[in-house]
Amino acid sequence: MKFQNILSETNNGITTITINRPSKLNALNRDTIQELHKAFEAAENSSKTKVIIITGSGEKAFVAGADISEFADFSVEEGGKLAAKGQELLFDFVANLSKPVIAAVNGFALGGGLELAMAAHFRVASNNAKMGLPEVSLGVIPGYGGTQRLPQLVGKGRAMEMIMTAGMIDATQALEYGLVNHVTTPEELLEFTEKIAGKIMRNSSVAIASAINAINANYQDGENGFEVEIEEFGNCFGTEDFKEGTQAFLQKRKAVFPGK
């Protein structure tokens, strides 16, 4: 699959998707969102992919935001459609993938960039990263899930302050807030993230998919997370991975999971 704005490469079970518009600080335009959707969809459906890493090319930016020139003259109706389509194609899509998605945040993650990082299942940042949702400085609000996911990750008060001030926080503050799980040097970012991916891949991909679904259920209107957990827990008992995992434990050996 050939792309104009992104790169996608799979090695040793890890698919690394890189937004490759360094001259635009990897800003998200319509074409890039569409390509990202296709790349994530392909990784989700590939038996070769166990973990997905999303990052940006160059040293300056993960994603510096959306491409404002594309929607500066939109009407109310067009603005609503823009947000709905973006969430459907990319942000909600990524959040609900059954394969783990880790954002390796290098440099600026602003606006849609931070929203993409937050849609990933968790985040690792380089120590030169800067994160923020500056949309109110443009007379608009975050429209790709930012007003929902940021409070879930950092708490209501901190999210309110970040969104209202349109300010940026650095990697140290993001770690303190719980917005990122780890901070590394820029040089170590991908290697460190791949090591975490390696730890994930030792475990049952079927069970991990069930865990993602159960965890996400707690944040969805009309869903009872405990009920989804019970259902997913029960479903695990019917899988080959469960049989292998329990037998390996009882036989005091390492499990070799068949996966999907």
Q: Which residues does the annotation mark as catalytic?
A: 115, 135
Output the six-digit token pair for 164: 């209202």
Looking at the DSSP bridge assignments, the partners of residue 140 are: none
Looking at the DSSP bridge assignments, the partners of residue 214 are: none
Q: Is 166 helix (H, G, I), strand (E, B) or coil?
A: coil
CB atoms within 10 A of CB 175: 19
Output the six-digit token pair for 37: 């959707």
Residue with tokens 């109110």: 136
Q: Is 68 helix (H, G, I), strand (E, B) or coil?
A: helix
Amino acid letter, 130: K
Distance CA 237, CA 241 (A): 9
**Enclosing H/E stretch for 97:** none
Distance CA 207, CA 157 (A): 34
CA pseudo-torsion sign 187, 44, 87, 31: positive
Amino acid letter, 212: I
